[in-house]
Homo-oligomer: A and B are copies of this chain.
Amino acid sequence: MFKFELEKTSKGSKARLGKIITPHGEIETPIFMPVGTRATVKTMTPEEVKDLGAQIILSNTYHLFLKPGMDIIEKAGGLHKFMNWDKPILTDSGGFQVFSLSGNRKISEEGVEFRSHIDGSKKFISPEVSIDIQNTLGSDIIMAFDECAPYPSSYEYIYDSMMRTTRWAERCKAHHKREDQALFGIIQGGMYKDLREISAKDLVAMDFPGYAVGGLSVGEPLELMNEILDHTTEFMPQDKPRYLMGVGTPDYLFEAVERGIDMADCVLPTRIARNGTVMTSNGKLVIKNAKYKEDFSPLDPECDCYTCRNYSRAYIRHLFNVDEILGLRLATIHNLRFLIKLMEDIRESIRGDYFLEFKDDFYRKYGYNK
């Protein structure tokens, strides 16, 4: 029910073109996955998300576990039905949020006890609980429970954390029984190459249907991420999808794809959209700026999204100035389409063997100094 087909590898880089087959449909890779944290891609209907060309969305185990809670999603018949989305869903393990959002954490070999960031109530997530939750959610791709250590962290901390994450991955694999869900392992190891190697090799030995790289894009310089990513993908099998967690700016996506990454996700495009910042082929644009007051051109004249086909910068600026929700919607649609279209173009460039040239052109126009 889950399959990855590697179609080709680009000339001159490790960029890959492939296809993931899931029970809810196929996904062309490399892919950017919009995030629907609380069973909704913020401001959007599922139909709108599909119209953007999105092939899969990500949803968050931690948030859904707290609200609405698993009893409700189970009775709804799973997350797809609950939220009216019939294409693939990937859920994270809850690990990242337990370690970044919750309070009063107590980490043990067994799992993590924490306080809900919503009401302060005591909760516990272990590898087995995370799998149980994700089994109930019924997502197509589920993630092993891991710790995403902060940056910077000491070698000793990362070593202990990474080794525990590996042991947790083993328990996740043992506990996971649903054959219609693919469980991915998460490679950790911080910015330490030897730890990345250990983590990757141990997880690969367990034979997961896919692997994620966690603990990158956590505040380190792009160059360092590139170096660690280059090193890590060396130890990842060619015939399994590779997912870089938490990446969603054009440069990070290009650099990740160049290093052989197939999947990425991030809340950034939707979050900055709601703050009025949009990505365009000529770089970022802050729509509230006075200079757009009487600018009746679209956000990005080269964009094919609903927003750019129908609305002016002046109108969208007005909506933001008077706090109208349609402004948040139009900016979100644009930013998501921008990244999804970027990945479509990247796939074309890999297919046509001009990925690096495409990257250079994009960087020049976008204003990246690389």
Binding site for B on A (CB under 8 A): 38-40, 42-45, 63, 67-68, 71-72, 75-76, 82-84, 293-294, 296, 306, 310-312, 314-315, 317-319, 321-322, 324-326, 328-329
Contacts and interface: CB of A to CB of B under 8 A. Distances in A.
Each complex incorporates copies of this chain amounting to 2
Nearest to A333: B45
B321 A67 contact: yes
Contact of A325 (B68, B321, B325): B325
A157 to B, nearest CB: 33
B311 A43 contact: no
A84 B318 contact: no
Contacts of A310: 84
Given A39-B315, A45-B329, A76-B312, 5 more contacts: A38-B318, A42-B324, A44-B326, A68-B293, A325-B325
Contact of A324 (B40, B314, B317, B329): B40
A82 B315 contact: yes
Contacts of A82: 312, 314-315, 318
Given A67-B318, A72-B294, A84 B311 contact: yes
A48 to B, nearest CB: 9
A318 B43 contact: no
A45 B76 contact: no
Contacts of A68: 293, 314, 317-318, 321
A68 to B, nearest CB: 4
Contacts of A315: 39, 76, 82-84
Contact of A314 (B76, B311, B321, B325): B76
A74 B140 CA distance: 51
Nearest to A314: B72
Contacts of A72: 293-294, 314, 318
A291 to B, nearest CB: 13
26 contacts: A38-B322, A39-B315, A40-B326, A42-B326, A43-B325, A43-B326, A44-B326, A45-B329, A63-B322, A67-B321, A67-B322, A68-B314, A71-B294, A72-B293, A72-B294, A75-B294, A75-B296, A76-B296, A76-B312, A76-B315, A82-B312, A82-B314, A84-B310, A84-B311, A84-B315, A325-B328
Contacts of A317: 68
What 8 pairs across the A-B complex have the smallest Cβ distances?
Answer: A68-B318, A43-B325, A40-B326, A38-B322, A84-B310, A40-B324, A67-B322, A75-B294
Nearest to A321: B67
